[in-house]
Structure 1
Amino acid sequence: MHRIVIVGGGAGGLELATRLGDTMGREQKALITLVDACPTHVWKPLLHEVAAGSLDVDAHQIEYAAQAHWHHFSFALGEMVELDSGSRRLRLSEIRDDERPNEVVLPTRWIEYDTLVLALGSRTHSFGISGAETHAVTMDTLEQAERLRKRLLHTCVRNNALKEAGLHRTVKIAIIGGGATGVELAGELRRMEESFRKFGLHASEPTGDFEITVFEAGTRILPALPERISAMAQQMLQQLGVSVSLSDPIVEVSRDQIRTRSGHIATTDIVIWAAGIKAPAVLGCINGLAVNHINQVTVDGKLRSVSDDNIFALGDCASCSWTNDRSVPPRAQAAHQQAVYLAKAISARARGMAIGDFHYTDYGSLVSLGSSKAIGHLIGGFPGASLLLEGGLAKLMYTALYQKHRTAISGLRRTIVDVLAHRLRRMARPRVKLH
């Protein structure tokens, strides 16, 4: 049968594998294989909640092996480290035991394909800033977000001990990047701080024990959103006690401080890098594969590589034209639309049928700023039509977007059961993870 391999189990890759499995896989018209270096899926826009301890990871992660069984595709654990497009095969890295690094669980393997879909997502882009990769924390993966959460927790516990000895210190947190990730993380950290105070993990203070500053190189935060929303978001951050630094890019990051272009030096306990993205480096090392300056695969209107008709790409790792001077933005809604399109396009391709080009529709953006606050805009069906949302309604819409993603992957019935079970668990647990 036709062999379809999807590399990357993010929002777009997992949805595509599920849709193809439920159609071509169920009907035994193709062999679908999903490849990922991690055994579980967590929606990447929620990683800032993992870092703040406000997301129950066990309730929200999806095991690829179980998803594959339920939806008629196969799962291969491993990282793609080589692609031989001439012979249509890719090589996966070996898997080693975490507790016994010298013991190989799975050896290096080759997987053959007829159609390949690259859905590897993106990584944080440090832009070559001195010390950024060494001293700043990123949130590209679940493991990185969990390490950040533990570091925040340990820093608070240590500072609490200093307070009891009469040495009061605030936890100084610098968030580099004023996009959606940086802004949402700042809001979640305030929720984390309140929970830590409630459960005695640091001393009660009338002012915040987290001294949070968002550093944005541009003239405003949330530059991809309308200026009115950026201004409102900045005001909401300031109401939460979050400082915002604009138009002064970071030029150096060291162990306990950062330096800006203007010469300003700020001392820090934790530096979180949330500025810019680039596609994984492996894509830039594939012979004959056309990529742009940040390793994104250059694709045509059908999301097909301009250098290989058997390779497609979607999501953050794809460079797809939207308008004359803009590309499809790296958003979850774009990955969802591309997954829906490719599910139809690949099925038609396997039957020797043609399909029209992909067209991206921008439905707006929503940004969460804590437990009950959110802001954003929804774009209507008429040119220039836009609805501004804020507060509880915006938060409800933000939550609905995630549930829509879960429904696309797990189905409505399973999603409803999972939501109800999660609500019951939350009644007997703290709002934030405390260990």
Structure 2
Amino acid sequence: MINQDANVALQHIVIVGGGAGGLELAVRLGKKLGKTKKAIITLVDASPTHLWKPLLHQVAAGTMDSHADKRGYFALAHSHHFDFRFGRMDGLDRANKQLFLAPVLDEDGEEILPRSVLSYDSLVIALGSQTNDFGTPGAREHCIMLDTPVTAERFHHRLLSQCLRAQAQIRERGEGRFTVTIIGGGATGVELAAELHMTTKILSSYGLVNFHPEKELKIVIVDAAKRLLAMLPERVSTAAERELRSLDVQIYANEQVVEVSKEGVRMASGTFIPSGIVVWAAGIKAPDFLKELDGLETNRINQLVVTPTLQTSRDPAIFSIGDCSACAQGEGMPNVPPRAQSAHQQAELLARSLIRSVQGKSLLPFVYKDYGSLVSLGNYSTVGNLMGSLSSGSLFIEGTVAKIMYWSLHKHHQIVVNGWFHTWLTTWADLINRVKNPRIKLH
């Protein structure tokens, strides 16, 4: 596109992936470059709506209505001066600086949008991650992967169906408690277990007089590590495990899953857990097609290898942020962890860098700052540790203070995307809805 005033071609910055990092980057660049007509900003995503991924366990449990928290990309693009293209990237031509978008189909398989080509000057790949089942037999066929709002909703519907069966006292002869097995003792698995326990307790108070959570539902967590939340300090792990055991959540640590079947989960030790629903939440990887993306360098979990300036190692015109990027913190140190705070920090830095690039200035190096981690245990508790500038060393926190800080993480994302005023209004609306609506989604 030509800037008529300056009679020069505007740079076209394309961002693929509208997750926490990609959307925040699009909003920041839209305000600084799109609004002032200094560059064209285009966001591409395979979904027409955005939902903050750390909330998926709440959608699955029914403690959050995904439709209430979703934001449409077209509306966000209009408000923040960037363009939105609805489609899924499935190829790249680096030589001609073009990316390819697959046809968009409706639920019946009818084509809505044809295959298309999008040119760029700078490309940012922010596709996030998906569940890594490590090739475990039966995992793809018999597990629910909490990667998207669609799969989270599917889990919720299956859970509700089982609760209704219990209410109607439909039970096979010899059948015991209905078991939900969560494979993976990281933040997602731990948070889902606590949220599920809270959901079933609430359900029993909504007229399901024959449904008794303690008698009808069994929640199990299986993890290959020696303790839950293995990537976090041991004190955080101990506090989370103590809380879960008090809720009668059964924990199998240091156990490797070797097969998932329709009947349940089998572990290397020979232990078999009969399961009605199995959720896989053990490990992540970047989308598979990235490992064959026109010669870009990837690691063993398909992440794009990037330099300190977040440029891909083999193409300076292509950047990558968030879970799909392998960004080294320094020699001998692990890569930047795949967390929402990482994506946020990278989006903030890259926005500044790309603005500088448009101005003819050099890019900035990324330096990750670990502010700690928080794990929500529903209404029961929140545990975590604070680090960096928030405390000297590492500070363990739990209870009300931790819950407020966990809540503030989501609010910070909303402020970046929606602004202070809109976030203030929606926060009040949420509080009002909590009074007039059921505490959990019942459909």
Alignment TM-score > 0.5, same fold: yes
Q: TM-score, normalised by structure 1?
A: 0.97
Give deviations 1:150-172, integer Å, cap 9, x for gaps.
Answer: 11111221233235899874220
Give deviations 1:70-92, integer Å, cap 9, x for gaps.
Answer: 00000001110111111111111
Structure 2: which 5+ runs fail to align? 1-9
Q: Rate the CA distance shift 1:434–1:87 in 2: closer, same or farther, 3 A.
A: same
Quick check: 1:159–1:202 contact (8 Å CA) kept in 2? no
Is 1:57 matched with 2:71?
Answer: no
Deviation at 1:352, TM superposition (A): 1.6
- Report the equivalent of 1:30: 39
Q: Rate the CA distance shift 1:159–1:197 in 2: closer, same or farther, 3 A.
A: same
Q: Distance in 2 between matches of 1:86 and 1:210?
A: 56
- After the TM superposition, which residues 199-348 of structure 1 pair with which residues of structure 2 at under 5 Å, given as runs? 199-201=206-208, 203-205=210-212, 207-323=214-330, 324-348=332-356
Q: Rate the CA distance shift 1:260–1:410 in 2: closer, same or farther, 3 A.
A: same
**Range moving further from structure 2, 352-361 or 244-253:** 352-361
Select which of 97, 104, 113 maps to 2:106: 97
Is 1:361 matched with 2:369?
Answer: yes
- Report the equivalent of 2:91: 82
Deviation at 1:416, TM superposition (A): 0.3
- Report the equivalent of 1:425: 433
Q: Distance in 1 between matches of 2:106 and 2:270?
A: 46
Deviation at 1:56, TM superposition (A): 2.2
Equivalent residue letter for 1:203: N
Is 1:381 matched with 2:394?
Answer: no
Q: Rate the CA distance shift 1:388–1:107 in 2: closer, same or farther, 3 A.
A: same
Deviation at 1:341, TM superposition (A): 0.2
- Report the equivalent of 1:14: 23
- Report the equivalent of 2:401: 393
Q: Distance in 2 between matches of 1:384 and 1:321?
A: 24
Is 1:124 matched with 2:131?
Answer: yes
- After the TM superposition, which residues 110-149 of structure 1 pair with which residues of structure 2 at under 5 Å, given as runs? 110-149=117-156
Is 1:182 matched with 2:189?
Answer: yes
Quick check: 1:59–1:418 contact (8 Å CA) kept in 2? no
Quick check: 2:166–2:211 contact (8 Å CA) kept in 1? no
Q: Distance in 2 between matches of 1:250 and 1:129?
A: 8
Equivalenced residue count is 433
Q: Distance in 2 between matches of 1:428 and 1:56?
A: 14
Quick check: 1:208–1:241 contact (8 Å CA) kept in 2? no
Give deviations 1:45-99, integer Å, cap 9, x for gaps.
Answer: 000000001012222111100000000000001110111111111111111222x
Deviation at 1:232, TM superposition (A): 1.1
Q: TM-score, normalised by structure 2?
A: 0.95
Give deviations 1:231-278, integer Å, cap 9, x for gaps.
Answer: 111001001111110111100000011110111111000000000000
Quick check: 1:159–1:171 contact (8 Å CA) kept in 2? no
What SS does the corresponding residue of 2:74 show, helix, strand or coil? helix
What SS does the corresponding residue of 2:351 show, helix, strand or coil? helix
Quick check: 1:373–1:391 contact (8 Å CA) kept in 2? yes
Quick check: 1:321–1:328 contact (8 Å CA) kept in 2? yes
Give deviations 1:31-53, integer Å, cap 9, x for gaps.
Answer: 10000000111000000000001
Q: Rate the CA distance shift 1:90–1:165 in 2: closer, same or farther, 3 A.
A: closer
Structure 1: which 5+ runs fail to align? none
What percentage of aligned pairs have identical amino acids? 45
Q: Distance in 1 between matches of 2:20 and 2:68?
A: 17
Equivalent residue letter for 1:78: G
Deviation at 1:287, TM superposition (A): 2.0
Give deviations 1:169-202, integer Å, cap 9, x for gaps.
Answer: 4220100000000000001001110122111346
Give deviations 1:85-121, integer Å, cap 9, x for gaps.
Answer: 11111111111222x32x2111111100000000000
Quick check: 1:366–1:375 contact (8 Å CA) kept in 2? yes
